[in-house]
Amino acid sequence: MLQSKITCVFLLANLLFADTSLKKKRCTNFFPMNPAIEYVSSAVVAKNRESEKEHPEKFHRKSQEKISINIESFGGKGDGITDNGPAFTKALAALPNGGIINFGKGVFTNHTRWLIKQSNITIKGQGPGNTVLTADSSVARTFDIGLERGHENIFQEGAKGDSSVIFPFVNKTKKGDDYIELKNKTWIENFPVGQKIFIRGGASYYDQDFGEINVVVKKYGNKLYLKYPLSRNYDYEGENWFGALLKDFKPPKVGGIAMAIIQHAPQKKGMPISIGNEIYSVVSEKGDTVFLLNPGRANSTNVIPAGTHVTKGRQVIIDRGPSNDTIDGLTIQGKQTRVFSADNTFNTLIVNCVITRDPIIRVPGPFIFTVDRARNVRFKNVVFQAPDVLPSTGQISRSSGDISFSECVFKNVSTDFSEFCFNSLVDSCTYDIINQKFATRMGKTASNCIATNTKFKIKGGSEAISMDDIQGFKNSQRKGCIVNSCYFEFDGTNTVIQNMGEGTNAFTNNVITGNFNAICLTLRIEHPDIDENKQTILLFKKNTIRATINRPLFNEGNADIEDNNFTLSGNPAHADAGIIVANSVKDTSLVFHLKLKNNNFNNWLKKENKISNYDDKANGSKMLEISNNVFNYK
């Protein structure tokens, strides 16, 4: 049902950018027939649909049944004292092919951390508050699913530069392709059907990854056919890069070493890097001087010219992370910085849980949870909470895709969708935020990130929706982010939206109340070589605003502001509150765009009213379309 909901909301995303009417509709869910029910004839399926929902266990085939064990059978105790680490290790070892580990009521402590690296494991508690999993106060990470980044991760072998696990691909991969083509046909045998892979297409920095998890469903010639069409382009021309050659580079022969001069050189020995579409391994480095090994992976021996981009290795990597794990019905309480992570995982479900930082032991740290290099991770009916004096963030990053939050609560925990994540959904959730930098960040490298039917209650802080991020990718790569049918309640917040994401972002059908300084600060071009169109567009349509606004509604931006209803309340703190659009950017190369149409402005400041202070002389290129706006003054 959740997957149906996600699909429906993503269809809404496509309609928003294709149809400017932006009809306000909530998606309808349908309960699909279960194709696994082979022994029920088609004639009686409809009759048994309700029975299946009430008693699903009666309709599952025997081969799908999981082995179920109790942690207490392996020496586990929920007394808040016993080290349950050894019992948990034994329980996992008893389920080599997957199964259910049941926890009774109580507080189960682990003197190290709770770690799942296996597939098909379900951790089942007796409900949040009844079953509590925690770790010793000296443990930095409380509960991890997957292979954590930077240590024992799916890139460990590839990061060492071992040529046997480096598989470069042909430089013609496009968004929407259902295959990726390896540079050598003989490598295809390393990828059995069903194998999970990570397609790495570069990075803005060497500790990140621009890519996606996928699954091999077929192979032919030197092509790996994929379960999911590629989410973006991975050709050299559209890659994300950080370094660049400062001088021409003459590649060595296979097994040989040569010196390269690289701006922002990689600093990790053994790391595979790509210079253009050729791959090498770092032997040593000092400053801009790097010695590189040719691993013999279909590299050319032609001289590579100065200025060529340098990235983390552009390669297909065998993904060794776990799949199909579930956490259900418990509280995870951390006493240090990171309470929960799902890193390098696939098809993971966290449901009916509480993820919280200990309210007494206050160790500062930015992240309460992380989702890194993962795909199909679903949080449903989960409460994330942190003490008011210790605000925290959950980061969804490093090319994670298809991540969803449904009916979740974020109590002083913000969400950060950044670093090339894609297809993220926040649906029917609640944010209760105090003095955070933002409630949620939909970073300018986050593609197709959607918030819908969600309530934001925000006190203090910088902004509700932030769209800043690391260096982005070209506009042609990114699908915009959407905030639709949400409710915002502000108390002294600076800005509703900080819209700095490349491309087009939509803020539609929302209700905004309370007091704040400005609705939107937008258009900041930081990387003109990446921001090819030199503009960002905000679609701000069909919103209802009932608030005290202390400064201009929109500032420094390209925006389509249409069909909104603004009602000014209270007494603004600044005289310029009547200005609707302000602009102070003096870069005449930028293309400014403003459409202000069919809006109602109620209880407005007649004395100070001013639609725009755009300066014709300061801005060389602009498009202004202002029409059919109605002002009802105080």
Place 364 in a pLDDT band, splitting at 50, 70 and 90. low
Q: Please give the residue that has the higher pLDDT: either 27 or 501.
A: 501
Q: Residues 305-315: what's their mean pLDDT?
A: 91
How far from chain centre, in Å, is Cα 484? 18
| Number of C-beta neighbours around residue 50 at 10 A | 10
Can you give the pLDDT at residue 529? 41
* Percent with pLDDT over 90 in the chain: 48
Between 266-280, 298-312, 526-540, 573-587, the lowest mean confidence (pLDDT) is in: 526-540
What's the pTM? 0.85
97, amino acid identity: N
451-488 per-position pLDDT tens digit: 999 999 999 888 899 887 665 544 446 677 899 999 99
What is the C-alpha separation between 265 and 276, in angstroms, rounded? 14
DSSP 481: P
Which residue matches tokens 């770790």? 135
The residues near 318 (Cβ < 8 Å, ≥ 6 apart) are 154, 165, 190, 191, 195, 196, 197
H or E, element range at 495: strand 487-499
Contact 207, 322 (CB under 8 A): no
Contact 181, 170 (CB under 8 A): yes
* Percent with pLDDT over 70 in the chain: 75
For residue 238, give the nearest of 473, 479, 478, 398 by alpha carbon.
473
The residues near 375 (Cβ < 8 Å, ≥ 6 apart) are 212, 213, 214, 345, 346, 347, 400, 401, 402
For residue 482, give the nearest of 455, 450, 512 by alpha carbon.
450
Taking the alpha carbons at both ends of the chain, their separation in whole angstroms is 49
Q: Please give the residue that has the higher pLDDT: either 65 or 384.
A: 384
**Residue 429 in tokens:** 């959730």
Q: Residues 506-513: what's their mean pLDDT?
A: 96
Q: Residues 379-384: what's their mean pLDDT?
A: 98
Query: CA 432 → CA 388, 452, 515, distances in Å?
Result: 10, 16, 16
Can you give the pLDDT at residue 319? 87
Q: Residues 50-71: what's their mean pLDDT?
A: 56
Residue 551, pLDDT above cutoff 50: yes
- Would you call 63 helix, strand, or coil by DSSP? helix
Place 584 in a pLDDT band, splitting at 50, 70 and 90. low
For residue 397, give the nearest of 470, 495, 504 by alpha carbon.
470
Q: Residues 362-383: what's their mean pLDDT?
A: 88
Can you give the pLDDT at residue 462? 80
Can you give the pLDDT at residue 419? 86
Contact 548, 570 (CB under 8 A): yes
**Residue 181 in tokens:** 């083509």
What is the C-alpha separation between 226 and 196, in angstroms, rounded? 10
What is the C-alpha separation between 627 and 108, in angstroms, rounded? 64
Between 346-360, 446-460, 493-507, 575-589, the lowest mean confidence (pLDDT) is in: 575-589
Helices and strands per DSSP (H, E), number in the chain: 4, 49
SS3 annotation, 543-560: CEEEEEECCCCEECCCEE
Q: Of 37-51, 345-359, 590-604, which has the strongest mean pLDDT? A: 345-359
What is the C-alpha separation between 477 and 78, in angstroms, rounded? 50
**Residue 25 in tokens:** 């509709």
Domain definitions of the chain by residue range: 167-318
Contact 577, 552 (CB under 8 A): yes
For the stretch 275-278, contacts whose Cβ atoms lie closer than 8 Å and that sit 24 or more positions apart, written own/partner, are 275/245, 275/249, 275/304, 275/308, 275/309, 275/310, 276/236, 276/304, 276/308, 276/309, 277/168, 277/171, 277/236, 277/314, 278/168, 278/251, 278/304
Place 532 in a pLDDT band, splitting at 50, 70 and 90. very low
Can you give the pLDDT at residue 531? 43
For the stretch 9-13, contacts whose Cβ atoms lie closer than 8 Å and that sit 24 or more positions apart, written own/partner, are 9/425, 9/427, 9/450, 9/452, 10/423, 10/425, 10/448, 10/450, 12/450, 12/452, 12/482, 12/484, 13/448, 13/450, 13/479, 13/482
Which residue matches tokens 């990114």? 478
Residue 282, pLDDT above cutoff 70: yes
Can you give the pLDDT at residue 43? 33
Residue 528, pLDDT above cutoff 60: no
**Residue 51 in tokens:** 């029975």
Can you give the pLDDT at residue 29? 31
Residue 231, pLDDT above cutoff 80: yes
Q: Residues 589-598: what's their mean pLDDT?
A: 72
Which residue matches tokens 């929109």? 554
106-122 per-position pLDDT tens digit: 999 999 999 999 999 99
Strand partners, 179: 225
**Residues across the chain:** 634
175, amino acid identity: K
- Would you call 202 helix, strand, or coil by DSSP? strand
Place 341 in a pLDDT band, splitting at 50, 70 and 90. very high
Place 616 in a pLDDT band, splitting at 50, 70 and 90. very low
